[in-house]
Amino acid sequence: KKTESVAVPSVTCAEMQQGIIDRLHKGLATDKNKANNKAWWNATCLAVNELVFEKLTKTHHNHAGKDTRAVNYLSLEFLMGRLLSNNLQNLQVFKVTEEALKGLGKDLYELCDEEPDMALGNGGLGRLAACFIDSLATLGYPAIGYGIHYEHGLFKQEFQDGRQIERPDTWREYGNPWEICRPESIQLIPLYGYVETLYDPTEGAKKIWHAGQKLKGVPWDIPIVGYGAKTVNILRLWESRASEAFDWDVFNAGGYVDSQAEKSRAETVSKVLYPNDSTDAGKELRLIQQYFFCACSVKDILRRFKRANSDWNELPKKVAIQLNDTHPTMAIPELMRILIDLEGLDWDFAWDICQKTFAYTNHTLLPEALEKWSVGLFEKVLPRHLEIIYEINAQFLKNVVEKKWPGDDQKKAKLSIIEESDNRMVRMANLCVITAYKVNGVAAVHSELVKTDLFPEFHELFPTKLVNVTNGVTPRRWLKTCNPGLATLLDETIGDDWVLNLDKLKGILPKATDSKFQQRFMDIKKQNKVEMAKIIKETTGVEVSVDAIFDVQIKRLHEYKRQQLNLIHILTLYKRLLENPDYDMVPRVFLFGAKAAPGYHMAKEIIFALNKIADKVNNDTRIKDKLKVVFLPNYRVSLAEKMFPAADISEQISTAGLEASGTGNMKFSLNGALTVGTMDGANIEMAEEIGEQHMFIFGLSVDEVKDLKTKGYKPYDYYYNNPELKSVLDWLDSDFFTPGHPGLLSDIKRSLLEWGDEYLCLADYASYLEAHQKIDALYRDQAAWAEKAILNAGAMGKFNSDRSIEDYASKIWKLKKFPIA
Ligand code: 26Y
């Protein structure tokens, strides 16, 4: 039963060939005999752009002409990955381009591999932003993504003797065919200096900020092609430069060299993505980066608004601004400042506008991850914004908190935007919650915990403000593009419109017990594993069998994500095998991919330990290839696209209550892997959709974690009561994995015992082992395994970012689609 095809190729094979050859000649001044693969890739991108630009202009004219309400998605991170294959898919010209290139003697997949990843993000939050702008364009919503044009994205990871080494990422060293510079929309951004107060007899006090320095913000636009290519939105990325005005003075004074130093200081603002994904070090440069980004974006939003409007009452009707975590919070005081100081609005009117314009997404409950900036630093860099924040705070404490809890100073201290300590701090999350008209968490359980544990008083004050929008992932990249085998099977089985309506996946559920379908499903998985095995061999030299269970954990390295729990499971199996070479287990390949924040000691120790264990295990002939451990270096979007389709087991094993949502969990299941996971984040909702009996759920629940912590958790109890666990942990103190250097892995043991095992690995160890026993047993029955894998993939309809965006549009943005003909 094949439903109507959504594919409408807008270009023929011959036209595409001509387009590519033309671009080689006229765009790159080369020809097909001289060009290397990079040039072919570049020419193909340029040919694709010719299809994109037309639609981009058309979308722009429609939106601007009709002055539509739009959402502005402000995010310090957009983890886009590669764009060629995705753009070809969304334009529905992938097949025709593949054919065209084949005719020219080129392999499209090889050319796609030439593209450097656009790694302008750390992990989940940045990738979510990328999925969201794909969905916004696909669904036909007027939207702009605003971000930073980092010169260096997330660092490249290498291993030296098992340890992580960070190298600079140079994704656009030789240019980037996807971006368009827009010098006509440059912004000037003030910094430092002082605030002057002028008294006007009629208007009262007027504030003038005399900046000490000005940065220039240069916008680069990346077209975002919706699937079906009707709407093409943009991602606008800001690059910092020195402003000419400033350089010129120094230059005239004979300071040519100094002016160059000034130039490079200005350029550092957008030079690097901060590689941390939980705690800021409170660095001045990061604050400036955040402010620079917010100021450029707010000014740009207002410039567009003013083109068609002169009544400020219209602003909240035309503009929604979504803050992706607290990182872009400075947009709030910046909008206040512009409305009051530059546009002359009175405070109450400006505040009312702000409160109707901003919404904020929270992505974390970890207390250490809530951003705070020292008041002293603020005063130096952004003196006027600090005054505005003080005023917002004073009014909030007086008009809201004092009314609700008269005389309760403790409540005031807790809710205040200013943390009163020796080093007074500005709490960005408080500013966001006080201002935003909606605040959302990213999975049901997370949003509940935001209400009950993180912001209970705010929830009492604003009972309708806190809502949930469960995350999702785009099926264009995370199924159609990355898993062509499975995508084709789906097309043939349920029609090809699942790409736009993922609920259609339900259509494969009745096939779960159909042995023919099972066979095809498993053959595709096998083929993906074969390709993964090749990559493993090429990058690490390790040979793995595709008959083994591919057990995969890919995500940032964090103690709360518990890669170390996976590690002690591996050691347990290894020990069993050494003690009994005939130990009966289905062969396993444990695959890891993860970057650690460069300053995160324990995370780096875990990487090192896994690499050392891998060395030992992979070269130990006694265990007859029953166990392999591979830590793939430089985990990134393009590698993820190869790993999700090849996985049998998805590791989602965070301590319950700590993973806000997770999105990798969804990508695995969508591609037919089974989940071993805790009842945390979106795993809970996945279990609702899939059926808990079709997953390997283990470990303490959120409530049990809380109880255990209140009762007083004693990791030593588990250590002394479980001899196998004890022997595994003691192993880490030996020099077995680091010959001649005992103790190199001891920090891992210490963290799990002496240092209190904050993330309760030992409490969940036994239950985790049990879950893995069940995995082993099930895999022996391939039909039963296939059935579950199909039931998993078929139940993923909900976890599609189109659904997330529809939720935002209806619950938060009140946004209407604007179909482009
Ligand atoms: C403050 C700065 C250092 C910082 C930078 C990046 C702090 C946090 C982050 C990134 C956080 C992040 O990626 N959070 C993840 O967001 C995903 C999307 O909502 C969730 O699925 C995931 O559970 C959460 O950890």
DSSP string, 175-231: --TT-EE-GGG-EEEEES-EEEEEEETTTEEEEEEE-SEEEEEEEEEEEEEPTTSS-
Q: Cα(659)–Cα(683) distance, rounded to whole angstroms?
A: 10
Residue of the CA atom closest to atom 9 of ligand 1: 277
The answer to whether residues 577 and 619 touch, using CB atoms and an 8 Å cutoff, is: no
From 363, 451, 511, 595, active-site residue = 363
Any residues with CB less than 8 A from the CB of 419 and at least 6 apart, and which? 372, 425, 426, 427
Beta bridge mates, 235: 145, 222
pLDDT tens profile 741-767: 999 999 999 999 999 999 999 999 999
What is the secondary structure of 632-676 as a DSSP string?
-SS--HHHHHHHGGG-SEEEE-PPTTT-S--SHHHHHHHTTPEEE
Contact 148, 76 (CB under 8 A): yes
pTM over 0.95: yes
Report the nearest-CA residue for atom 18 of ligand 1. 125
* Active-site residue flag, 58: no
Backbone angles phi, psi at 65, to 5 degrees: -60, -40
Q: Is 330 helix (H, G, I), strand (E, B) or coil?
A: coil
Phi/psi of residue 589, each to 5°? -115, 115
- Which of 75, 79, 125 to probe ligand 1 with, by most ligand atoms within 8 A of CB? 125
pLDDT (0 to 100) of residue 537? 98
Average pLDDT estimate for 530-534: 98
For residues 246 and 222, the model is more confident at 222
User: What is the structure's pLDDT at 67?
Assistant: 86
Range in 5-9, 339-343, 684-688, 718-722 with the lowest mean pLDDT: 5-9
Phi, psi of 216 (to 5 degrees): -100, 135
CA distance 259 to 247: 5
Kindly report, residue by residue over 267-309, the tens digit of the pLDDT.
Answer: 999 999 999 999 888 899 999 999 999 999 999 999 999 999 9
**ipTM of the complex, rounded to two decimals:** 0.99
Domain identity same for 613 and 663: yes
Helix 782-794 and helix 761-779, axial crossing angle in degrees, nearest 10: 120
Q: What percent of the chain has pLDDT over 90?
A: 93
Determine the distance separating the centroid of ligand 1 and the alpha carbon of 363, expressed in angstroms.
6
Same domain as 293, residue 414: yes
Q: Is the pLDDT of residue 260 over 90?
A: no
Q: Confirm whether 481 is domain-assigned.
A: yes
> Is the residue at 202 inside a domain?
no
CA distance 328 to 539: 38
Residue 123 and residue 39 share a domain? no
How many Å is the Cα radius of gyration of the chain?
A: 27
Contact 292, 240 (CB under 8 A): yes
Q: Would you give the DSSP letter of residue 82?
A: -
- Torsions phi, psi for 670 (to 5 deg): -55, -30
Q: Could you give phi then psi for residue 467, rounded to 5 degrees?
A: -135, 175
Clarify whether residues 108 and 137 are in a common domain: no
Q: Is residue 524 part of a domain?
A: yes
Q: How far is the CA of 728 from the centre of ligand 1 (A)?
A: 32
Tell me, yes or no, whether 198 lies in a domain. no
The percent of residues above 70 in pLDDT, for the chain, comes to 98
Instruction: Mark whether 675 and 743 lie in a shared domain.
Output: yes
Cβ neighbourhood burial of 781 (10 Å; 0-12, 13-18, 19+): exposed
Q: Catalytic site residue 214?
A: no
Answer yes or no: is 199 within a domain. no
The values of phi and psi at residue 426, to 5°, are -95, 120
Q: Within this chain, do residues 90 and 135 fall inside the same structural domain, yes or no?
A: no
Residue 776 is predicted with a pLDDT of 98
Quick one: 41 and 141 in the same domain? no
Per-residue pLDDT tens for 68-85?
Answer: 999 999 999 999 999 999
Q: Whose CA is nearest to atom 5 of ligand 1?
A: 277
Among residues 32, 24, 7, 22, the alpha carbon closest in space to that of 95 is found at 7
Selected catalytic residue, list 556, 558, 588, 595? 556
Total domain count, the chain: 3
**102 is a catalytic site residue:** no
92 found inside a domain = yes
Mean per-residue pLDDT, 531-547:
98
Do 127 and 165 fall within a single domain?
A: yes
The pLDDT mean for the chain works out to 96
**Same domain for 376 and 310:** yes
| Residue in 385, 555, 558, 694 annotated catalytic | 555
Q: What is the pLDDT of residue 204?
A: 83
Q: Which backbone phi and psi does 507 adopt, to 5 degrees?
A: -55, -20
Tell me if 751 CB under 6 Å of ligand 1: no
Task: Examine the pLDDT at 191 and tell me if it is beyond 80.
Answer: yes
* Of 490, 450, 485, 491, residue with least CA distance to 467: 450
DSSP 8-state class, residue 753: T
Do 17 and 159 have their domain in common? no
Band (pLDDT 50/70/90 cuts) for residue 397 is very high
Is any atom of ligand 1 closer than 6 Å to the C-beta of 662? yes
What is the pLDDT averaged over residues 128-147? Answer: 98
CA separation, residue 159 to residues 556, 567, 635 (Å): 16, 18, 12
207: phi then psi, degrees, rounded to nearest 5:
-100, 135
The DSSP output letter for 680 is -
Per residue in 465-486, pLDDT (tens digit) is 999 999 999 999 999 999 999 9
**CATH label of the domain that carries residue 347:** 3.40.50.2000
815: closest CA among 68, 1, 52?
68
Q: Classify residue 761 by its DSSP letter.
A: H
Structural domain for 243, as ranges: 69-82+117-180+217-471+806-813
- Same domain for 541 and 640, yes or no, is yes
Bridge-partner residues for 428, per DSSP? none
- In this structure, what are the phi and psi dihedrals at residue 295, rounded to the nearest 5 degrees? -65, -45
Ligand 1 centroid – CA 509 distance (Å): 33
Q: Is residue 343 part of a domain?
A: yes
One domain, residues 314 and 443: yes
Q: Is 276 in the pocket of ligand 1 (CB under 6 A)?
A: yes
Is residue 257, in this structure, part of any structural domain at all?
Answer: yes
Helix 428-435 vs helix 383-396: angle between axes, to the nearest 10 degrees?
60
* Residue burial 746-762, b: 16+ Cβ < 10 Å; e: rest: bbbbbbbbeeebebbbb
Q: Give the span between the Cα atoms of 99 and 96, in whole angstroms.
A: 5
Residue 342 CB coordination number (10 Å): 10
User: What average pLDDT does this structure show over 664-691?
Assistant: 98
User: Do residues 363 and 442 touch, judged by C-beta distance below 8 A?
Assistant: yes
371 lines ligand 1 (CB under 6 A): yes
Residues 168 and 156: beta-carbon distance below 8 Å: yes
- pLDDT at position 282, please? 82
- The DSSP output letter for 454 is I
